[in-house]
Chains A and B, each alone.
Chain A
Amino acid sequence: MFRKHALGFVALFVFAILLCGEVSADSAHALGEHDAHRLLIGTTTSLDATKVLDTLADMFERENNVDVQWVAVGTGQALEYGRNCDVDLVMVHDREAEDTFIEQGYGVDRRVFGYNYFLLVGPENDPAHVSGMNGTAAFAAIQKAAQNNPAIIFVSRGDNSGTHSREKLLWKEAGYDYTSINSSPWYREAGAGMGQTLAMANELSAYTLTDSASWATYQSNLSLVPVVENDNAFMNVYAVMRVNDAVCPQVNTEMAKKWINFMISDKVQDLLQSYGSEKNGIPYFNPGRGNASVMGVSDAETKMLLG
């Protein structure tokens, strides 16, 4: 009886061993690449969702002997990966959080490579009548109107992403304490990525803050419309920086530096200028080149690294 099964068990075992071989080959590959041939980026989701990173990684891999990989998460989590030395680079969009990251000694060589705009989207009938207002006024108007109109709902990312950070800042600039906003019945924290948050806002006919790249990616499935856009308070600046090798000696500094220079090089800036235009009429990300004053950053932050 046992002997009859033995063959089957042996076959299963051999099969499993073969699979082992495959995984360890795969991982040995990954491990070997960890030092010099793998560049791991912690990135904000919009760069991944728009597929621009796929194009950029292909370009970069053709010129350099490296495998570019990325983990697409919110800005908060990407920076946390940096603090743990688990990524070589971060590509994020939250000035305040980035400054803290640099002050704490984790981030170096910050360069700004592009920008787009946040926009406030909401139901077409615009129950809070915010259409045409400026950013902070619209936030204030939503808060006021929501007090006596239960149809008004605001959905927040609620996930410490760059978009969530900006939303918190806008509430503050509109004169509200975020803790009280956060506990209001008309305020819903999705705790999710941009796509899911937009889907939720769509289902609830609610307002939400989004970035223009994500909006262009997802808008075809949604009945929401932009109510406030192109507002100066809605400037959304994307930056890249490497994880400090003095704090994290394991990071791939050489490739990280090359990637930073690559991001602000003319060919990538040219690509950003047109990327997405065919599909949406406007690019997902405007190039940072020559736009330092528009983005409100210093000239030095758009210049190549030396050495």
Chain B
Amino acid sequence: MNDLLTGIETAFLLILTADPEILDITSRTLTITFMSVLISTICALPLGTFIAFTEFRGKTTLISIIQTLYALPTVIVGLVCFMLLSRSGPLGFLGWMFTPYGMVFGQAILIIPIMTGLTITALQMIDPLITDTIRSLGATRVQFVKTHIREARFAIMAAIIVGFSRAISEVGTAIMVGGNIKGHTRVLTTAISLQTSMGNFSLSLALGLILLAIALIINVCMGYVQSR
């Protein structure tokens, strides 16, 4: 109980005093998360659109596999990325191990399946009446896809928000690939994990509250874009 109250107090203190280390960690967290969400969006939206609008053998199986990957444990993603990016691994030549690059790579692998899957669902949820109408009006294939994306834009936006939320809150990949190096790859979640392991529970809680506050701000901004 004591830790709870001091945690909340610490959070406000850290924010109000603009603690330089916390600012540094927070801006790094945002940079890495935005990068991974951007890359994942560029990969997942076209991929999801393609899968949703193309008929091919094994489509249902593929969608099931994508949806199964929602449950990918972050530590496993971290481990696989570690094996790939380690200097002794196949992508070792990139030199991404223990760098923010590697963290972006890991987070992208983690959230691409979610964003792809949710994009497919968003496009498949569109009222068949609309689909029929568009088709009967003689739309070209490009117009057809464009109209569908416009209809599903809120659900697609939600896919991006879910991807963002999973990326900013995951710790397994960040700690395995980034290594939680102070001033270099330490982000909010890995800092929380470190402070917890050191028994500084109230500081951990404070960092958690800061993370949630950021997520709230991002969600409000997204909501604003949606309402326009």
Contact = CB atoms under 8 A, between A and B. Distances in A.
A301 interface: no
A295 B227 CA distance: 69
A40 interface: yes
A149 to B, nearest CB: 28
A85 B86 contact: yes
Contact of A86 (B35, B38, B98): B98
Contacts of B99: 27, 30-31
A221 interface: yes
A71 B177 CA distance: 11
Interface in A72-129: 72, 83-86
Contacts of B104: 23
A36 interface: no
Interface string B62-94: 000000000000000000000000111100100
B197 A193 contact: yes
Interface stretch (A2-10, A169-177, A272-280, A284-292): A2-10
A304 B228 CA distance: 68
A20 interface: yes
A49 B197 CA distance: 10
Interface in B14-60: 30-32, 34-35, 38
B87 A84 contact: yes
Nearest to B150: A2
Interface stretch (B5-13, B119-127, B133-141, B179-187): B179-187
A218 interface: yes
A86 B97 contact: yes
A195 interface: yes
A204 interface: no
B101 interface: yes
Contacts of A16: 34-35, 38
B38 A20 contact: yes
A19 interface: yes
A84 B199 contact: no
Given A5-B228, A71-B179, A196 B197 contact: yes
B223 interface: no
B86 to A, nearest CB: 4
A299 interface: no
A221 B199 contact: yes
A49 B88 contact: no
Contacts of A70: 181-182
A20 to B, nearest CB: 6
Interface in B177-228: 179-184, 196-199, 225, 228
Nearest to A32: B95
A248 B180 contact: no
Given A8-B228, A84-B88, A250-B87, A23 B98 contact: no
Contacts of B100: 23, 26-27, 30
B87 A196 contact: no
B199 A195 contact: yes
Interface of B: 30-32, 34-35, 38, 86-89, 92, 95-101, 104, 150, 153, 179-184, 196-199, 225, 228
18 contacts: A2-B150, A5-B225, A19-B30, A23-B101, A26-B31, A27-B99, A30-B100, A30-B101, A31-B95, A49-B198, A69-B183, A83-B88, A84-B86, A84-B89, A85-B92, A86-B86, A196-B196, A196-B199
Across the A-B interface, give the 7 residue pairs with the lowest CB-CB distance, nearest first. A71-B179, A85-B87, A27-B101, A16-B38, A84-B86, A195-B198, A30-B99
